Amino acid sequence: MEDIRTVACDPKDEISTVQLWESFGYYLFSSNEVYNKDTSVTYEDWGDFVIGNSHVDITHYVKMVFRRDPKRLNYEKLVELENQFVNTPLPEKPSSGWSLLAIGIWLMLFFPVAIFMIIHNTKKVKPEMDEYKKKLAEYENVRANIVQEARKLVV
């Protein structure tokens, strides 16, 4: 029985998604582009006149089904690399430290203090963002190395 993986992605990412899963020994079995445009209109009665408001919801993605033969060459190693790739944790992005509401209140009530606190907070958050960017680069590097190793095994 073949391994089956179903993936949904943005249409602009379709080619890169196919290439990614081919790296782990899958082949594209089927692909369907899903596009749904739903328009709804609501009316408000204002006595002498009626106001109509329309709202459009658009759903647009590509659903792909991939298959992989467990009898293929290097199957176990490909499964191991796929699991490493899927389970590589994305680093958490640090918060900015302040909500817009808190900043707004400080600006209105304590303008000089607020300016000081914004500058102070910016200095505090910058090292956290630098650390996050470093971890994110490591995350992307680990995943790229996994994909590269898997591509060597796919013949």
Q: What is the pLDDT of residues 99-142, one digit of tens each?
A: 667 767 656 766 666 666 666 666 666 777 888 889 999 999 99
Backbone angles phi, psi at 117, to 5 degrees: -70, -35
Strand 50-68: give its sheet, edge to edge: 3-9, 50-68, 27-45
- Residue 23 is encoded by which pair of tokens? 């790296």
Q: What is the pLDDT of residues 41-85, one digit of tens each?
A: 777 777 677 677 778 888 999 999 999 999 999 999 999 999 999
Q: What is the pTM of this model?
A: 0.64
> What pLDDT is stored for residue 103 in this prediction?
67
Location of structure tokens 């509401």: 101
Which range, of 20-29, 33-42, 44-53, 88-97, averages the lowest pLDDT? 44-53
Secondary structure (3-state) at 37 = strand
> What pLDDT is stored for residue 38 in this prediction?
87
CB 132 within 8 A of CB 94: yes
